[in-house]
C-alpha cells in the first residue's frame, strides 16, 4: 500500500464536513502538548459522539493507583534532592503522564460536558489488564531511580518523528502487531454499532496514530476520513 504526503485542507474540511462521516483522529499518546491541541481539534470538528481508544479498566486503574505512583516518583526525587541537576526530565514527564489519566480522556470529557455530547471508551479491558500488571515493576522505587537519575535509564523514541516519516514519506519503521489487529477488529466493530445506533450524528474516533495505518482495512467499511492531529490534514 502506498501513502501520499498529507496536504493541508482545514478550510475544506470545515466546509464539507458531512455529518455522516467518521473522522479518525490520530494522536501521539502522552505528548506534552496533546491536551491543548486535541481540545482545539474537537472544537473544529464538533462531533456529537466521541469514541476513544481507551479502556474502562485503564481509566479505573489510573484513578486508583495514579496518586500512589506519583507519590513514589516524588519520594525518589526528594531522596536525590542534592542531585536534581541530573534529573532526566523526559523520563519524569513520561512517568507522570503514564500515571495520570490520559489527556485524550480529559480533553474528550471536557468537550462532551461542554457540548452535551457522548463519549465511549471502546478498547479491550483484557490488554489493558495485561499491560498494567507490569506497572508495579515500572513504578518500583529502584526502577524510578534508574529512569530518573541514570543516563541509560530512558530513551526518547521520538514518536512524533516516526509518525512524520510515515505520513509524509510513507516510511514505516514501526510494527503493526497482532495485538493491534485484535484491538482494531474489536474497536471497528464497536464504532460500527455505535454509528448504526446514532444516525445523523457526527462521530469522531480518537486513536494512536499507528491505527490510521489499518493494513487489514478493518475500518474501511466505515469509510473514515483519517487525520493526523499535528497536520490538520486528511492523510488517506
Instruction: Evaluate whether residue 139 is within a structural domain.
Output: yes
Grouping H, G, I as helix, E, B as strand and the rest as coil, residue 121 is strand
Per-residue pLDDT of 188-197, as tens digits, reads: 999 999 999 9
Closest CA to 229 of 103, 70, 90: 103
Domains held by the chain: number = 1
Alpha-carbon 152 to chain mean position: 26
> Is residue 1 situated within a structural domain?
no
pLDDT of residue 1: 34
pLDDT tier at 152 (50, 70, 90 boundaries)? Answer: low
Residue 222 lies in a domain: yes
Contact 73, 96 (CB under 8 A): yes
Residue 2 lies in a domain: no
pLDDT-wise least confident of 13-17, 147-151, 230-234? 13-17
Let me know if residue 189 belongs to a domain. Answer: yes
Decide if pLDDT at 235 tops 60. no
Which residue range is the domain that position 178 belongs to? 7-234
Asked which of 60-74, 80-94, 138-152, 167-181 is least confident by mean pLDDT, the reply is: 167-181
Handedness of CA 48, 66, 55, 97 (dihedral sign): positive
pLDDT of residue 57: 98
Q: Is 192 within a domain?
A: yes
* 75 located within any domain: yes
Strand order in the sheet with 7-8: 7-8, 233-234, 225-228, 22-27, 203-208, 49-52, 118-121
Does residue 203 sit within a domain? yes
pLDDT at 120: 98
For residue 122, give the nearest of 179, 190, 76, 170 by alpha carbon.
190
Amino acid at each position: 500500500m502506498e501513502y501520499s504526503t498529507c496536504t493541508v485542507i482545514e478550510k475544506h474540511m470545515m466546509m464539507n464536513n458531512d455529518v455522516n462521516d467518521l473522522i479518525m483522529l490520530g494522536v501521539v499518546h502522552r505528548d506534552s502538548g496533546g491536551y491543548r491541541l486535541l481540545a482545539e481539534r474537537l472544537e473544529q470538528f464538533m462531533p456529537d459522539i466521541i469514541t476513544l481508544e481507551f479502556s474502562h479498566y485503564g481509566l479505573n486503574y489510573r484513578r486508583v493507583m495514579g496518586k500512589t505512583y506519583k507519590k513514589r516518583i516524588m519520594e525518589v526525587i526528594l531522596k536525590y534532592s542534592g542531585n536534581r541537576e541530573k534529573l532526566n526530565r523526559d523520563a519524569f514527564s513520561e512517568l507522570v503522564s503514564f500515571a495520570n489519566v490520559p489527556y485524550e480522556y480529559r480533553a474528550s470529557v471536557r468537550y462532551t460536558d461542554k457540548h452535551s455530547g457522548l463519549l465511549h471508551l471502546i478498547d479491550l479491558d483484557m490488554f489493558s489488564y495485561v499491560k498494567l500488571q507490569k506497572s508495579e515493576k515500572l513504578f518500583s522505587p529502584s526502577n524510578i531511580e534508574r529512569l530518573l537519575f541514570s543516563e541509560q535509564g530512558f530513551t526518547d523514541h521520538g514518536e512524533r518523528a516516526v509518525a512524520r516519516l510515515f505520513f509524509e514519506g510513507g516510511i514505516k519503521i514501526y510494527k503493526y502487531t497482532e495485538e493491534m489487529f485484535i484491538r482494531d477488529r474489536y474497536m471497528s466493530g464497536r464504532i460500527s454499532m455505535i454509528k448504526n445506533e446514532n444516525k445523523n450524528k457526527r462521530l469522531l474516533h480518537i486513536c494512536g496514530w499507528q491505527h490510521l495505518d489499518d493494513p487489514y482495512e478493518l475500518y474501511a467499511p466505515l469509510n473514515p476520513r483519517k487525520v493526523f492531529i499535528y497536520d490538520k490534514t486528511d492523510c488517506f
